[in-house]
Amino acid sequence: MSGLIEGLPDELVFLCLAWLPFNLYPVLQLVCRSWRAAIHSPELIKARLEVSAHEFLCVCTGVEEKLWQLYDPLIDDWLTLPDLPTERDPVHFGFVSTAGKLFVLGGDCSYWDDSTNRVTGEFATDRVWSYDHILGCWDQRASMLVPRSNFASCVLDGKIIAAGGLKTMLEPISNAEIYDPETDVWAPLPDLPKTGYPESGVVINGKLHVFFDGESKFLVLENGGGEWTWVVRENELLKGPKAIVGEDLYVLKDGIIFKLDKELKIPKRVVEAPPDCSYFFIGCHFTMIGIGPELFLVGEEEIYVLAVGMETPTIRELPQEWDLHEAYTICSCTMLLI
């Protein structure tokens, strides 16, 4: 791939492409093979991250049949994605974004079979799918080293980490692994020093933190001298849903959203959670995610947006684009950066 525009170095061409709206890329890739390669190259993704990256909220709704959607905060609109090309959509899967793509990791594909009156199918899978928003399609990637469901997943320095979870309904696992999207290769990490039901994986101060449901103890992945190690720590202030906005950590605890200081020791009350959402107060079927300067509060049916950057934080409800019934409650979300 060279000579994209005669007389201009490719580095400058990538910067020019990075400033263009990503919805023009499907047309630009039709110019020639070199432009198609440029549009799908890691160099363009890196350039966009530097100058004009676009953040979307990606929401997965549904129980047996999933509905995948992107919300664009800039134009306040939703876009429906193609169905995942599987015979049966997973539940309790990992859902992350890196290198300009969405990734769906593992999950539980078991179901109740009325003909045999028993649960059948895979309780934990190792399959990995990525969604390319420019091509508008899903692609199967290298499988995880260990099948898992109900696990912690997160992106650290552009690489995906999957940690812990369940292998069967009653068999927790301590395995952890890391994935490089550029090489499409998984590599093992040290086993977790404790097992349980990971609630989430969050990068705080540049380090991966794995939290367990209802516990004040959590794990921190350290990298000293080129070797990965897990460290057990405890902090009562970090119990409950968590999200990063900018460089600040927000935690939902007892119906109140708090902002923590850099040392994660002093909580500052930000706002009370919406009173009409009882699950906000108990943390069930609920997650939080930071997009731009806002904190998105994502429940089973409602999505609220908290403008935390204002002197007086305000909350607004996000209009949804799906039917509010059992088949389309929210089951997962992530942020897509393009």
Q: What is the pLDDT of residue 285?
A: 59
**Alpha-carbon radius of gyration of the chain:** 20
Higher-confidence residue of 97 and 134: namely 97
Average confidence (pLDDT) over 310-323: 79
Res. 182 pLDDT band, cuts 50 70 90:
very high
Q: Given a cut of 90, is residue 286 above it in pLDDT?
A: no
Average confidence (pLDDT) over 253-265: 87
> Residue ranges of the domains in the chain?
1-53, 84-234
Q: What is the pLDDT of residue 282?
A: 45
Q: What is the pLDDT of residue 327?
A: 55
**Smallest Cα–Cα separation from 81: which of 70, 73, 89?**
70
Q: How many Å apart are CA 31 and CA 20, to the nearest integer?
A: 15
Res. 323 pLDDT band, cuts 50 70 90:
low
**Smallest Cα–Cα separation from 138: which of 75, 89, 200?**
89
pLDDT tens digits along 155-168: 999 999 999 999 98
Q: Which CATH architecture has domain 84-234?
A: 6 Propeller (2.120)
* Lowest-pLDDT range of 11-25, 187-201, 202-216: 11-25
Q: What is the pLDDT of residue 94?
A: 95
Res. 278 pLDDT band, cuts 50 70 90:
very low
Q: What is the pLDDT of residue 236?
A: 87
Partners of 200 in the β-ladder = 211
Res. 283 pLDDT band, cuts 50 70 90:
very low
pLDDT tens digits along 55-84: 899 999 887 778 899 998 888 888 889 999
Average confidence (pLDDT) over 28-54: 81
Residue 328 token pair: 């389309």
User: Residue 279 CB: number of other CB atoms within 10 A?
Assistant: 14
Q: What is the pLDDT of residue 102?
A: 96
What's phi and psi for 191, nearest 5 deg?
Answer: -65, 150
**Smallest Cα–Cα separation from 110: which of 129, 93, 88, 126?**
88
Res. 52 pLDDT band, cuts 50 70 90:
low
* First-last CA distance in the chain: 21
DSSP per position, 250-293: EEEETTEEEEE-TTS--EEEEEEPPTT-HHHHHTTT-EEEEETT
Q: Given a cut of 80, is residue 178 above it in pLDDT?
A: yes
